Amino acid sequence: MGTVNVPEDAYYGAQTKRAVDNFPISGLCFPLSFIKAIALIKKYAAQVNRDLGLLSPELAPAVMQAAQEVIDGTFDEQFVVDVFQTGSGTSTNMNVNEVIAGRANEIITGSIGGKSPVHPNDHVNLGQSSNDVIPSAIHITALFSLYNNLLPALKELHKGLQHKANEFAGIAKIGRTHLQDAVPITLGQEFSGYARQIELGIERLRSIEPRLAELALGGTAVGTGMNTHAEFAHRVIALIAQETACPFVEAKNHFAAQAAQDAAVEASGVLKTVAVSLMKIANDLRWLSSGPRCGIGEIILPDLQPGSSIMPGKVNPVIPEVMLQVAAQVIGNDAAITIGGQGGNFELNTMLPLIAYNLLQSITILAAAVTLFAKKCIDGITANKERCASTVDTTIALVTPLVPVIGYDTAAAIAKEARETGKTVRDIIRAKKIIPEDELNRLLPDGSGK
């Protein structure tokens, strides 16, 4: 358990202090982007309530200014409530209400804090409930972060992978299945598969936008809209959509929007899928660059830092390993969010803070890692053409393209002889004169990609 000493210049009040004093302190706090989304709601709530004649024109400007200052980051240190709190997120909602009220009172009277003339509940929280504000803030922050961080990062990664697919189009190498030699492909074809995975990930993220765009605001306590004006929600949401350039709309059904968090669960599932794609790509790059002399060594990754404190000259695949760890974290977050989604009992989900923290963390760390992956790894990859050529020339799997011409059994016998003698498939075919030279050259690719 922990306590907090309220400094003389604290803008938050007694309810926030009680929350901090009585909740376990994990050291985890919401990202400031989430706090700013709540403040964005408060800013436009004050404007709309003023326009509707519900908030006096003397108080509304101060509330709006204070909320904007929160959005600008002026009071970042004032948001002190732990992530693990009441399941509705009421403590964080009140933390924001109290900071805005405390600052608004300072603007009007010159004295920090307090409940007069601006009251945190009666004025800042007017027409709202934690039960519709917190789910709305989750959707606002998640969709805004997707638009402005993760999707742009994935587009750059896709661009980089597609560029490598084109650059490596003429480099033949051996394909692998079950970690064993398969049939020849080009390095470009291999990278084209990675590019398509990312392209599909972008499409999947785009597909969830309509559900994340629905905001619970206007439902207040249980979805009925008690104590709020009929025009309040859609007016506030329209202003939020205009400022964020995101297509936010009022939820079609407020009971679903507050009782469940299905859109957040869906979004997390898509993020997990993207993470699994990135994990596959990062793992392949580690394998393909392994060595440099005693591994596969078909590609060369950028050299970023010494790889060992004891082995001089060792270079490790640092960035792919960063990507793998981030992907693992996102997959773990999805498990927590899935459990959190099951916390929708009757008219309210009571695991909102857990869902918010993990969903926003997944988006944030994926965006950062993908940006790093594209710039510090993919863009600098080069092909080891000699190594790629040698794998094509020496693999026993090179016999496979000959099957339609010489038959499976003959091809199998050649493969067996190559395995036992160490000779190449090409050399055995030539020695036995099974296929004319020109036909052999047509059927079997060489390291130049011909």
pLDDT value at residue 1: 36
How much is the pLDDT for 450?
Answer: 47
Phi, psi of 186 (to 5 degrees): -105, 155
300 DSSP β-pair partners: 382
Q: How far apart are CA 8 and CA 11, in angstroms?
A: 9
Out of 19-23, 187-191, 284-288, 382-386, least confident range:
19-23
Angle, in degrees to the nearest 10, between helices 32-51 and 60-71: 160
- Mean pLDDT, residues 112-129: 97
Other CB atoms within 10 Å distance of the CB of residue 406: 16
Q: Which residues are known to be catalytic? A: 178, 308
| CA dist 144 → 20, 42, 67, 240, 246 (Å) | 29, 17, 18, 11, 7
Site of tokens 């790894």: 377
CA 232 to chain CA centroid, Å, is: 32
Number of H helices, E strands in the chain: 18, 8
Q: How confident is the model at residue 106 (pLDDT cuts 50, 70, 90)?
A: very high
Residue type, 19: A
Grade residue 449 by pLDDT with cuts at 50, 70 and 90.
Answer: very low
Over residues 287-342, the pLDDT tens digits come to: 999 998 899 999 999 998 766 667 767 789 999 999 999 999 999 999 999 999 99
| Structural domains of the chain, ranges and CATH numbers in brackets | 14-126 (1.10.275.10), 132-219+255-384 (1.20.200.10), 395-443 (1.10.40)
Query: Distance between CA atoms of 158 and 186, rounded to whole angstroms?
Result: 19
Residues 121 and 112: their CA atoms lie apart, in Å, by: 17
Per residue in 140-195, pLDDT (tens digit) is: 999 999 999 999 999 999 999 999 999 999 999 999 999 999 999 999 999 999 99
Q: What is the pLDDT of residue 47?
A: 98
Which 3 state secondary structure label does DSSP give 13? Answer: coil
